[in-house]
């Protein structure tokens, strides 16, 4: 061999990566507030906590940091198949931020990780367009991240995403579910569809069994299957902010749950204390047609559907019944439709773990 091997020969172009990093830095700056020190490019991101601490979001005398991490899952397969990468970044932000705000926390900053077969400038740019859009919607800074070229790890043209979000809350305002009581009602905030869960089953039903094509217009959706499957996860941060501004003490909002993998039965009980039953009334909210089509084509049992998908409910809010109308009004004013979907009852055994009963 006349010349020795180079890193580029092995599939990693450092100079192309540098150009992508510069592009990401410019996009990230669109999410900065005065609390961000420096910017993308250093070995770590810096975020000022101020004095007591006093942030733009208010004064915290006993602040508690809240951290979440998540990915997008096999929804990315749809992005690979369509060559459309500008929405899954929104999903990435949503999956962490929506977990974080369930505690009542305010998102401060977000970091992303992209592991990719080859650093394609357009793909990376499109991904970051989505991440930046998600951060702006969530009201947090894109403080930093990492893009790694891993040619032996991923198939050609593929990548994986991970996101990390840090927020803050006053200790006395943490929403922990301890106030949940019999007679409370459960508000179901509508989802935009699948969000980012259950895609392995959805793809098997719609593509493998149903034989649908991603560019096919589905009458039930009024758009292509790709458009439906790439619909971004709703980021509920603005709506939750508005509710907690209206109800600043946790006695008025007892619990909130992000409905992701394992659906209503797996997620709502995580926010409810022992000795309670969550009665959820099926049919009390509109179920998007994508779920109906998946169930029909796959001949999937109801229990399997509710264990896998959000079924049209992206988050739940458990509150005293007399607060429900006001909370639903605030949700609507912030672009989120909702339905009363259930209520809380006492279980016969006060020590029994909380459980959802679908009725």
What is the secondary structure of 101-134 as a DSSP string? Answer: GGGTPEEEEEEEEEEESS--HHHHHHHHHHHHHH
Q: What is the pLDDT of residue 145?
A: 83
Kindly compute the dihedral angle of the four CA atoms of residues 325, 284, 277, 326, in this order, to the nearest 10 degrees: -10
Q: What is the pLDDT of residue 48?
A: 58
- Determine the topology of domain 185-358 in CATH: Phosphoribosyl-aminoimidazole Synthetase; Chain A, domain 2 (3.90.650)
Backbone angles phi, psi at 235, to 5 degrees: -95, 115
Check if CATH label 3.30.1330.10 holds for domain 14-173.
yes
Q: What is the pLDDT of residue 36?
A: 59
Point out the residues of the chain with pLDDT beneath 50.
Answer: 1, 5-7, 9-10, 14, 43, 52
Query: d(Cα 212, Cα 329) in Å, to the nearest integer?
Result: 39
Query: d(Cα 6, Cα 226) in Å, to the nearest integer?
Result: 39
Q: How far is CA 187 from CA 80, 184, 260, 295, 354, in A?
A: 35, 10, 16, 24, 17
Q: What is the pLDDT of residue 250?
A: 67
Backbone angles phi, psi at 137, to 5 degrees: -65, -40
Q: Where in the chain is the domain with CATH 3.30.1330.10?
A: 14-173
3 state SS of 279? strand
Query: d(Cα 62, Cα 152) in Å, to the nearest integer?
Result: 47
Q: What is the pLDDT of residue 33?
A: 63
Q: Where in the chain is the domain with CATH 3.90.650.10?
A: 185-358
Q: What is the pLDDT of residue 7?
A: 46
Q: What is the pLDDT of residue 13?
A: 60
* DSSP type of residue 194: S
Q: What is the pLDDT of residue 5?
A: 46
């Amino acid at each position: 061999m006349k010349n020795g091997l180079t890193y580029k020969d092995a599939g990693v172009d450092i100079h192309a990566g540098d150009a992508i990093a510069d592009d990401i830095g410019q996009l990230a700056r669109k999410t900065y507030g005065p609390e961000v020190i420096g910017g993308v490019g250093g070995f770590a991101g810096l975020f000022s906590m101020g004095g007591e601490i006093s942030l733009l979001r208010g004064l915290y005398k006993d602040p508690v940091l809240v951290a979440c991490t998540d990915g997008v899952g096999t929804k990315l397969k749809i992005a690979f198949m369509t060559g459309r990468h500008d929405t899954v970044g929104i999903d990435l932000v949503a999956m962490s931020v929506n977990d974080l705000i369930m505690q009542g926390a305010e998102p401060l900053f977000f970091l992303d990780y992209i592991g990719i077969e080859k650093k394609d400038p357009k793909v990376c740019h499109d991904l970051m367009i989505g991440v930046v859009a998600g951060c702006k919607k969530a009201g947090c800074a894109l403080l930093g991240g990492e893009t790694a070229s891993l040619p032996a790890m991923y198939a050609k043209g593929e990548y994986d995403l991970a996101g990390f979000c840090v927020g803050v809350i006053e200790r006395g305002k943490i929403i922990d579910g301890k106030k949940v009581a019999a007679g409370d009602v459960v508000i179901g905030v509508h989802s935009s569809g699948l969000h980012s869960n259950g895609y392995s089953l959805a793809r098997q039903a719609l593509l493998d069994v149903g034989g649908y094509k991603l560019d096919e217009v589905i009458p039930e959706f009024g758009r292509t299957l790709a458009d439906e499957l790439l619909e971004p996860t709703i980021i509920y941060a603005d709506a939750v902010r508005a509710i907690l501004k209206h109800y600043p003490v946790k006695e008025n909002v007892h619990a909130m749950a992000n409905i992701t993998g394992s659906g209503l039965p797996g997620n709502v009980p995580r926010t409810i204390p022992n000795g309670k039953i969550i009665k959820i009334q099926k049919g009390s909210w509109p179920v998007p047609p994508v779920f109906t089509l998946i169930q029909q084509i796959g001949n999937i049992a109801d229990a399997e559907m509710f264990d896998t998908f959000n079924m049209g409910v992206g988050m739940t809010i458990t509150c005293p019944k007399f607060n429900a109308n006001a909370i639903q009004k605030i949700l609507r004013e912030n672009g989120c439709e909702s339905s009363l979907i259930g209520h809380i009852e006492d279980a016969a055994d006060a020590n029994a773990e909380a459980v959802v009963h679908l009725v």
